[in-house]
Amino acid sequence: MNSLPPGMLLILGALVIPFLKGRTQKVYGLLLPVFSAMHMVNLPPDHLIHVQMFDYVLTPIRVDKLSLVWGYVFHLAALVSIIYQLHVKDKLQDVAGIMYAGAAITAVFAGDVVTLFIFSELAAVASAFLIYANRNTRSATVGTRYFIIQMVAGVLMLFGILLWVHETQSLDFGATYSSGDWQLYGMFVDPESRMPVNPAAWLFLIAFGIKAAFPFLHNWLQDSYPEGTVTGTVFLSAFTTKLAIYALARSFAGADILVPIGLAMTLFPIFFAVIENDLRKVLAYSLNNQLGFMVVGVGLGTQLALNGAASHAFAHIIYKGLLFMAMGAVLFRTGTVKASELGGLYKSMPLTCLFCIIGSLSISGFPIFSGFVTKSLTLSAAFDTHQIWLFVGLLVASAGVVDHSGIKIPFFAFFAHDAGRRVKEAPLNMLIAMGIAAFLCIFIGIYPEPLYALLPFDVQADASGAAWQNYTASHIVTSLQLLLFAALGFAVLYRNGWYPSELPALNIDTDVIYRKVLPAGIRWIARIGRKGIGGARAKALGIINGFIVWIRGHHSPEGIMGDPWSIGATALWAAVLLGIYLIMAYL
């Protein structure tokens, strides 16, 4: 069993689902992540498997502390998502969801770029079906857009692999970071310049950047996640982007360029989130913002920063999943997640509301919730650089989180003005899944030590080994001041009618380029082309016509070749020819 990559049980196990029925199928699906997690936990620490393929060495399994953090949380996310999906009678979603989770887990344990490529692409293919599963024209369009963009990232990565292997003759993907160095550098980063080492590394950066939703490469995320099925989006929120963060953490630690990129990611989505009406889209922007904190952590590349990125990814998968579950439950019961059509649902869905608030407090980083003890590692690592723009930017981003995920999501869905919807509470399985996630949000917040023990490095405040402390009076009070004064800002603006109202409208983002500008451009070129082709066609016809007229000039009855000869003249010319032939025969 030690040669079976972690996650493979889920991939292979998903293939059996179509042959099972009813409750057996659901129980089987539920057991898969449990067995897969047991398999992963039982692998020896620092386990490596090498396979010779022609002249190259593949490493399909590499277990170390960095891969294990993601391994644990991906299994947890798979289990919670499967529970959340128990009521859905759709084998397509069960197969797609479980295979997607399995592929992402296998990719995390990939020790070479080929294995990473194969399984991250399998994850991309499987995940597209969680959008297609809505089975309508819109989901077909959105799913295909999502699929194409994932494939573009895949192709870029493939080119990166070819170039990289050509230059280095090695397929290795990263190595286990030495715990002796405080400042770390990934395999694609030049420690001198702190930039990607070569063009191949840049290709990897762009490929990972698409999947991690870097600015301008991000919009597939906000386009597709709100269009997934109620339960499919919970799967989607966990894996693709966090797999990309893992890949960055594994290979791009210490890349300076990631710090401004990450900071931009924390900032721009918060403005879009404020004015977005679709609450699952608000969460997609919020997800983008959270990824930014992790990208900053990877770019800083110190042990503290990488611990921050890893622990933030862990906590984030749980609270973001919880928020998507709460909005999924609202969509499932009411048929909409548009803020302009919701409000007052706390009366009908009190438990969902409670779980949502726990998710909101966690993502905002309130003391005793998971965001507080995880995001602070990255923030502290960032502030250690003493760069004022990073300090101001990350604090603004933290205040932004209070708005979109801390206030907007629970407030407009469950409170605000009562939209009069009287629906049933979410189904039991959804409540259990949300309950588990909510419990973990609080558990990690109060007792972060078990999570810290999983992190790739010992949790220390600085290179000298100073102890890390979460619950100091200063940290608690300053955090509460930032969060509750931001909340006061909301209260003042909302009560005075200055808060932007929730409107049934659409906001364009970079998707306008490929959904509007490019198609219009292509249509324009086609029109010009048609005009051009029309002109060329007329010219060619003219030439052909001229030729026909010229031929006819000679061969028509009036032409020289069409002139009828008399029998006498014909006989005379025949006699002349025969005569010449006779003479030539005798010569």
**CB of residue 189 to other proteins, shortest distance in Å:** 25
Task: Tell me if 56 contacts other proteins by CB under 8 A.
Answer: no
- Is residue 148 near other proteins by the rule CB under 8 A? no
Task: Tell me the window of 80-88, 256-264, 434-442, 488-496 that interacts with other proteins (CB under 8 A).
Answer: 488-496
| Closest to 146 measured CA to CA, from 159, 158, 133 | 133
Of 54-62, 188-196, 492-500, 526-534, which segment contacts other proteins by CB under 8 A? 492-500
- Taking contact as CB under 8 A, which single stretch among the options 249-257, 314-322, 391-399, 571-579 is the one that binds other proteins? 391-399
Cβ atoms < 10 Å from Cβ of 56: 14
Question: What residue type is 408 in one-letter code?
Answer: K
3-state secondary structure of 505: coil
Q: Between 519 and 532, name the residue whose CB sits nearer to other proteins.
A: 519
Among 237, 303, 311, 479, binds other proteins (CB under 8 A): 479
Binders in 314-353 for other proteins, by CB under 8 A: 344, 346-347
Give the C-alpha separation, 87 to 109, whole Å.
31
Residue 482 binds other proteins (CB under 8 A)? yes
- Please name the helix (run of DSSP H) or strand (run of DSSP E) that holds residue 195, with its range, or none: strand 195-196
Beta carbon nearer to other proteins, 45 or 500:
500
Q: Does 572 bind other proteins (CB under 8 A)?
A: no
Q: 10 near 31, Cβ under 8 Å?
A: no
State how far the Cα of 198 lies from the Cα of 256, in Å rounded to an integer: 15
Q: Which stretch binds other proteins (CB under 8 A): 90-98, 102-110, 385-393, 437-445?
A: 385-393
Any idea of the CA torsion for 381, 384, 385, 386, to the nearest 10 degrees?
A: 140
- Kindly state whether residue 163 participates in binding other proteins, applying the rule CB under 8 A: no
Instruction: Answer for the pair 241, 221: CB distance below 8 angstroms, yes or no.
Output: yes
Q: Residue 435 has which token pair?
A: 């309950």
**CA angle (406, 412, 416) in 5-degree steps:** 115
Residue range at the interface with other proteins (CB under 8 A); choices 75-83, 438-446, 476-484, 540-548: 476-484
Handedness of CA 25, 31, 35, 41 (dihedral sign): positive
Q: Interacting stretch for other proteins, rule CB under 8 A, among 209-217, 297-305, 355-363, 472-480?
A: 472-480
Is 577 a binding residue for other proteins by CB under 8 A? The answer is: no
The answer to whether 396 contacts other proteins (rule: CB under 8 A) is yes
Binding mask 512-551 for other proteins (x = CB under 8 A): ---xx-----------------------------------
* Partners of 190 in beta bridges: 195
By CB under 8 A, name the one of 246, 272, 412, 452 that touches other proteins: 272
Among 399, 431, 444, 459, binds other proteins (CB under 8 A): 399
- Taking CB under 8 A as the criterion, which residues in 204-233 touch other proteins? none
H or E element, residue 571:
helix 567-586
Beta strands in 45-100 (DSSP E): 48-53, 56-62
- Choosing from 4, 152, 257, 274, the residue that interacts with other proteins (CB under 8 A) is 274
Q: Which of 419, 423, 432, 513: binder of other proteins (CB under 8 A)? A: 419
Residue of 465, 497, 500, 568 that binds other proteins (CB under 8 A): 500
Does 263 contact other proteins by CB under 8 A?
Answer: no
Q: Are strands 48-53 and 189-190 parallel, antiparallel or unpaired?
A: unpaired
Which residues are within 8 A (CB) of 330 and not within 5 positions of it... i.e. 6 or more apart? 279, 336, 337, 342, 345, 349, 352, 413
Burial class of 5 by CB neighbour count within 10 A (0 to 12, 13 to 18, 19+) = buried
For 47, the token pair is 């386990």
Residues that bind other proteins (CB under 8 A): 137-138, 141, 270-272, 274-275, 344, 346-347, 380, 383-384, 386, 388, 391, 395-396, 399-400, 402-403, 415, 418-420, 422, 472-475, 477-491, 493, 495, 498-500, 503-509, 515-516
